[in-house]
């Protein structure tokens, strides 16, 4: 009889862990809109340019010397592969992404940028980095008009 309360408490604890634990909904949110088109063409800021090939995979980077210094001088004027990601959960569409990751195969260089999400976030015409940036200011790249 003395073991019955211990047995009941053990069962209750097991049920709490298995049935009442929070379910994981990790992953990018669904904005409920069609997927936006890939970035295409040039995007400019005071710290350089990014030229997207329109394939959703590659971007040509030409950053200013000041921005390169903040980034520990990665290869410049080079083509990088890129992906927009939701934290560390993998690739996602850019309008819900929290990070922009670029990788240069030739130099085995990768860079991760936190995206500035306040307001409308990344759009077809704007990409804003919040980190790493010079002087802790957001770096906003706007699409060049045709």
54, containing H or E segment:
none
Query: Coil, strand, or helix at residue 30?
Result: coil
**Domain ranges, ordered by start, for the chain:** 37-143
Q: How far apart are CA 40 and CA 44, in angstroms?
A: 13
Q: How far apart are CA 143 and CA 130, in angstroms?
A: 18
What letters, b where the CB count within 10 A reaches 16 and e where it falls short, cover 55-73?
Answer: ebeebebebeeebbebbee
Q: Is the dihedral of CA 91, 97, 98, 104 positive or negative?
A: positive
42, containing H or E segment:
strand 40-45
pTM, two decimal places:
0.79
Per-residue pLDDT of the chain (146 residues; tens, 9 = 90+): 567 666 677 677 766 666 555 555 677 888 889 999 999 999 999 999 999 999 999 999 999 999 999 999 999 999 999 999 998 888 999 999 999 999 999 999 999 999 987 767 799 999 999 999 998 889 999 999 86
Provide DSSP, 74-140.
---SEEEEEEEESTTS-B--GGG-SEEEEEETTTTEEEEEEE--STT-S-SSEEEEEES-GGG--EE
């Amino acid at each position: 009889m003395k073991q019955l309360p211990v047995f009941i408490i053990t069962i209750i604890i097991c049920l709490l862990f298995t049935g009442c634990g929070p379910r994981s909904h990790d992953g990018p949110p669904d904005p409920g809109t069609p997927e936006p088109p890939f970035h295409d063409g040039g995007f400019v800021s005071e710290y350089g340019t990014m030229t997207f090939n329109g394939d959703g995979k590659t971007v040509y980077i030409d950053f200013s010397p000041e921005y390169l210094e903040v980034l520990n001088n990665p290869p410049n004027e080079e083509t990088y592969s890129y992906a927009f990601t939701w934290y560390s959960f993998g690739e996602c569409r850019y309008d819900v992404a929290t990070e922009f990751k670029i990788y240069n195969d030739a130099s085995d260089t990768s860079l991760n940028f936190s995206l500035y999400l306040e307001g409308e976030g990344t759009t077809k015409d704007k990409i804003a980095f919040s980190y790493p940036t010079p002087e802790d200011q957001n770096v906003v790249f706007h699409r060049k008009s045709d």
